[in-house]
Structure 1
Amino acid sequence: MSTANALAEAGHNVTVVSMLRPKRMHKDIHLILVPMTKEQERSMDNTMSSMAKSKNDIISTMFLLLNDLGVMVNTQADLLSDPRFLRIYQTKFDLMILGSFFNDFQLGVAAKLKVPVIVDFMIPSNIMIDQFVANPFEISYVPNESTFATPPMTFLKRAENMMKHVILRYLTLRFDYKFIEIYNEIFTEKDMPTLSEMKKNISLVFVGSHLISDGPIRPLVPALIEIGGIQVKEKPDPLPQDIEQFLDNSTQGAIFLSFGSNIKSHMVKPEIVQIMFNVLSGLKENIIWKWEDLGNTPGKALNILFKRWLPQDDILAHPNTKLFVSHGGKNSITESQYHGVPMVALPIFGDHPLNAAMMVKLGNGVALDLQTITEDSFGAAIKEVLENDKYRRAVEKFSALYRDRPLTPRQSVVFWTNYVLRHHGAPHLQSPAVHMSFVELHNLDIYALVLTILILFVLLTRLIGKLVLSKLLGKAKVFGGKKKQ
């Protein structure tokens, strides 16, 4: 939505198709809302609740998306046949921006509209996104989302990274087969390009990173544009009156606690919630806690304000916010770093553990295992970050670096979108590797030829050696025989 809002502010005519009603939307955007059914919502909430009660990484999350959490993929396929969505084919568009989340099959929409495509990915590029623009994998020094390490990696960590890269590659192939199956079921027209052909005609990819500041440094092809932090407003919006008053009165400082939009607080194990409440209710600081079920809060405390929804970016921008207790989502960490607020991270699933590890490496806070926290460990972590000034200094240094760019994320989105429109898809930005086969890309045919020549050379050398040796031995026998006579 930040990308859509930036384009609408720049004067573009923007239509947004979404399954969730946006919290913030430019007044001129045309919204097509296709919400999930109650049954789909219940199925997803049950799975997310299960994930919040166990330890997960990106590999286990991808397995869930292939199985128990398949509703997140299937609903995106169902959307394409909804009458509310089908109306878009009656309108002429110039460009499609695909919000990417295990929905490659939706590229068929761009094929039917005959428009170029920009993929918009909310977190840093990964193995599934890199393939769109042939961005190179650097597994020797770039940890993947499942390897909880920060560069430089030890020998064992590099071995782990390589092994997990192979697993992620396998899972990516599994998803590719699933996406092709869905694509072929939905887009049955005879003149439709294949999904593989559509993937080779993506103009750009926007990704939610800024590697100069948050790392790890790695090569990026020209078609991969970093817009990390685009959701952060350049000027915070006014806070709701009760929240503003609560924060203004927090003379001892305020702590903000939120597990993001996907994990609702009641999904966390009750005993862990109680541990957190016991610690937070005993602090001198005020607490703003994102809690969706206001009729069933963990308890009552004068220093805790429970709210169903909170303007996270605006709260983090308030000068009295001294600490952010977060699940470790990339956007949450980015907003906290941007505003110079140190963190205590409690990662839950997906990329959260790696985000938390990178945040700790930068000295912007500490991380704990949510499933094993105790009152002592949670209290000690909060005390450490609040009372040790090194975390605030480190995150403020990061904030200055993060903001220092030639273009803001919004300006980058507008410029590169206009660039793609001006140059009719900008195919000249594509890496040649996009159109190469696996064998060609990795020079396997050349290696095979060189190996074949070497093998033939060795065999031929051995054959010639045998012939020469045979001749020599033959002559020796002849001469030996003559001496005996």
Structure 2
Amino acid sequence: MARANGTLFTLLGIVTCFILIGGIHGANILCLFTSISPSHLVIQMSMARILYDRGHNVTVVTTLKSPIPIDHTNINHIQVEISEEDKQMLSSLFGDMAKTDNSNVVLSMFRSFKKVSFIFNKVAGTLTDPLVRNLYENKDNNFDLVIVGYFMNSSPMAIAHKLKVPLIVQVCNPPSDITAGRMLGNPKELSYVSAQYASANEGEQTFGKRFANIFTSLGVNGFMFFVDKTNEQNYYKLVGDDASFPDYADLNKNISLVFFASHAPSEGPIRPNVPGVIEVGGIQVKDQPDPLPQNIKEFIGNATNGAILLSLGSNIKGSHIKADTMQIMFKVLSKLKQRIIWKWEDLDNTPGKSDNILYSKWVPQDDVLAHPNIKLFITHAGKGSITEAQYHGKPMLALPVFGDQPANAAVMVSQHFGLSLSLLTLEEQQFYDSLIEVLENPKYTQKVTKFSSLYRDRPLTARESVIYWTEYVIRHHGAKHLQSPVVHMNFIAANNLDIYALILVVLLISFYTTKISIIWLYGKCKTKTSKSAQQKVKVKRN
């Protein structure tokens, strides 16, 4: 009997260990993904799906329709839609950007500041939407964690403070000054880390590069100063005198960690990161691609000379691009022996008809890029698109438009994964020659295929990292021990400006005192010398 009881206790112990190792199941997680960019939402909803597949109870708030199918038995989706007027304003904004040279990210930021201000208002406005307000005011709602998708506005982070639960932030770019630096106290390292959306630190860090990077950092931080002032004003208008909401400046102090859509060991830049920087680049890439829609499956499958995917992302529409440019692209693509899958939103008004071109309003990009017949990806160079092409080992021809796209394209070219052209100055022969170069020169495919192997080689997959670190934060009730002390220090203390000021004052006082002393001693010596000389003169006279 005793032996049986001992065996039973041993089995119970083993089961308990497996439960503990398995992590926390059934936590209540609130995800606030209020970005107005569908490409951001692809990454964010991939994280939400992973967490509810794990067995957690997930509630997601978005302003857009989810681009990823949702199983409503495990996830509660609340959509706070923006108005048709705002959608038109947004479309107009992207259209204007498509007609402007945005290669200089700092100038582009300041140029578009007034136009994008309404985006910040909409993000902050979700706090007071009745459906969202019910989440944090209804006492029957019990959440264990809040995850916020960040897009240049910290206002949604206030809900984690209101609920008194840990906070995780998701960012769709690599760590940079305006994210990891501000949120986690990550060191800047401007001598070798780009301030323009952190990118690969390849090649010699010349004086010119470092000089330009310092001024880029000043420009980016200057832009964020104005953004923060706008967001802060909107935030206080919304929360009013509600003392249960924290000051806007304190919102970052509750962050446990940040999930970044990057992977520094393969992508770069190599830099020191605080423990709260968790990189999950490629989180939207599936372990196994889903079956393709039948028309796309047959179209690619029968492509004896291979196929090309053309997608300029979810924000840029065909109507945003000059008609002449569209005709140049159609004329060149229709002559190729490869088949083209062209993501196009208006099927009744296409650039032209050709047997080798299939237009589609929606393209499951990750699944298409996984197909072995895809030989080239013509892309706007958004971070998510670049990541998926790299993961699947597909060479690229980039046509960047705005935001981080020009920088992403430049890094891609420097790594010899493809070429980049400007949509504003696209010419027929130039477009054709670039396509042929990437298609027929094997070096691009070889380089990106080699990188794909490196990109996948990690101690934990992106999926496993999201699960482990999310449950880690819940287990440790916020994991405050991961935070850098810099997060809780003001600018002066964090940069030792008070100490440097004291040292400067001491040096100035020492210098002044020494100067006075020298002048006094010199005066004394001069007086003494003068008296001695006078005495000698008197002696001679006598």
The letter of the residue matching 2:172 is M
Q: Is the 8 A contact 2:162 2:245 kept in 1?
A: yes
1:31 to 77, 83, 97: 77
Q: Which consecutive aligned stretches of 4+ in structure 1 deviate over 4 angstroms post-superposition?
A: 146-150
Say whether 1:122 aligns with 2:188: no
- Greater shift, 422-431 or 51-60, is seen at 51-60
- How far is the alpha carbon of 1:50 from its aligned partner? 1.3
Q: Is the 8 A contact 1:293 1:308 kept in 2?
A: yes
Q: Is the 8 A contact 1:253 1:286 kept in 2?
A: yes
Say whether 1:4 aligns with 2:38: no
**Which position in structure 1 is the counterpart of 2:194?**
143
Q: Is the 8 A contact 2:333 2:340 kept in 1?
A: yes
Q: Is the 8 A contact 2:200 2:269 kept in 1?
A: no
The letter of the residue matching 1:170 is G
Structure 2 vs 1, CA of residues 327 and 211 (structure 1 numbering), >3 Å: closer, same or farther? Answer: same
Secondary structure, in 3 states, of the residue corresponding to 1:168? helix
State how far apart, in whole Å, the 2-side matches of 1:176 and 1:322 are. 43
**Which position in structure 2 is the counterpart of 1:251?**
304
**Which position in structure 2 is the counterpart of 1:105?**
155
2:208 to 156, 164, 180: 156
State how far apart, in whole Å, the 2-side matches of 1:374 and 1:462 are. 69
The letter of the residue matching 2:157 is L
2:432 to 372, 379, 388: 379
- Greater shift, 254-263 or 150-159, is seen at 150-159
Unaligned runs of 5+ in 2: 1-44
Q: Is the 8 A contact 1:133 1:204 kept in 2?
A: yes
2:225 to 162, 173, 189: 173
**Which position in structure 1 is the counterpart of 2:120?**
73
Secondary structure, in 3 states, of the residue corresponding to 1:272? helix
- Greater shift, 175-184 or 312-321, is seen at 175-184
- Greater shift, 37-46 or 467-476, is seen at 467-476
How many residue pairs were aligned? 485
- How far is the alpha carbon of 1:146 from its aligned partner? 7.0
State how far apart, in whole Å, the 2-side matches of 1:33 and 1:174 are. 29
Unaligned runs of 5+ in 1: none
- How far is the alpha carbon of 1:15 from its aligned partner? 0.3
Structure 2 vs 1, CA of residues 382 and 67 (structure 1 numbering), >3 Å: closer, same or farther? Answer: same
Q: Is the 8 A contact 2:199 2:269 kept in 1?
A: no
State how far apart, in whole Å, the 1-side matches of 2:69 and 2:197 are. 34
Say whether 1:221 aligns with 2:271: no
TM-score of the two chains, using structure 1 as the length reference: 0.97
State how far apart, in whole Å, the 1-side matches of 2:69 and 2:300 are. 26
**Which position in structure 1 is the counterpart of 2:96?**
50
Structure 2 vs 1, CA of residues 248 and 297 (structure 1 numbering), >3 Å: closer, same or farther? Answer: same
State how far apart, in whole Å, the 2-side matches of 1:465 and 1:43 are. 70
Secondary structure, in 3 states, of the residue corresponding to 1:413? helix
- Greater shift, 74-83 or 412-421, is seen at 74-83
What are the Cα deviations for residues 70-117 of structure 1, in whole angstroms up to 9, with x where unaligned?
232222223222222222122111111001112211122122222111
**Which position in structure 2 is the counterpart of 1:16?**
60
State how far apart, in whole Å, the 2-side matches of 1:376 and 1:177 are. 47
- Greater shift, 290-299 or 442-451, is seen at 442-451
- Greater shift, 154-163 or 300-309, is seen at 154-163
Secondary structure, in 3 states, of the residue corresponding to 1:170? helix
The letter of the residue matching 2:223 is L
What are the Cα deviations for residues 327-366 of structure 1, in whole angstroms up to 9, with x where unaligned?
0101000000100100000110000011011111111111
- Greater shift, 159-168 or 61-70, is seen at 61-70
State how far apart, in whole Å, the 1-side matches of 2:382 and 2:457 are. 23
- How far is the alpha carbon of 1:147 from its aligned partner? 9.7
TM-score of the two chains, using structure 2 as the length reference: 0.87
Give the RMSD, CA atoms, in angstroms: 1.6
Report which of the two structures shows the higher radius of gyration computed on alpha carbons. Answer: 2
2:364 to 311, 329, 335: 311
Secondary structure, in 3 states, of the residue corresponding to 1:47? helix
Secondary structure, in 3 states, of the residue corresponding to 1:14? strand
Map 1:196-345 onto structure 2 (within 5 A): 196-345=249-398
- Greater shift, 367-376 or 147-156, is seen at 147-156
**Which position in structure 2 is the counterpart of 1:83?**
130
State how far apart, in whole Å, the 2-side matches of 1:392 and 1:348 are. 24
- How far is the alpha carbon of 1:249 from its aligned partner? 0.4
What are the Cα deviations for residues 230-259 of structure 1, in whole angstroms up to 9, with x where unaligned?
000110000000000000000101000001
- Greater shift, 328-337 or 153-162, is seen at 153-162
Q: Is the 8 A contact 2:98 2:401 kept in 1?
A: yes
Q: Is the 8 A contact 2:176 2:197 kept in 1?
A: no
Q: Is the 8 A contact 1:259 1:326 kept in 2?
A: yes
Identity percentage over the alignment? 47
The letter of the residue matching 1:251 is T
- Greater shift, 463-472 or 111-120, is seen at 463-472
**Which position in structure 1 is the counterpart of 2:39?**
none
State how far apart, in whole Å, the 1-side matches of 2:99 and 2:217 are. 26
Secondary structure, in 3 states, of the residue corresponding to 1:23? coil
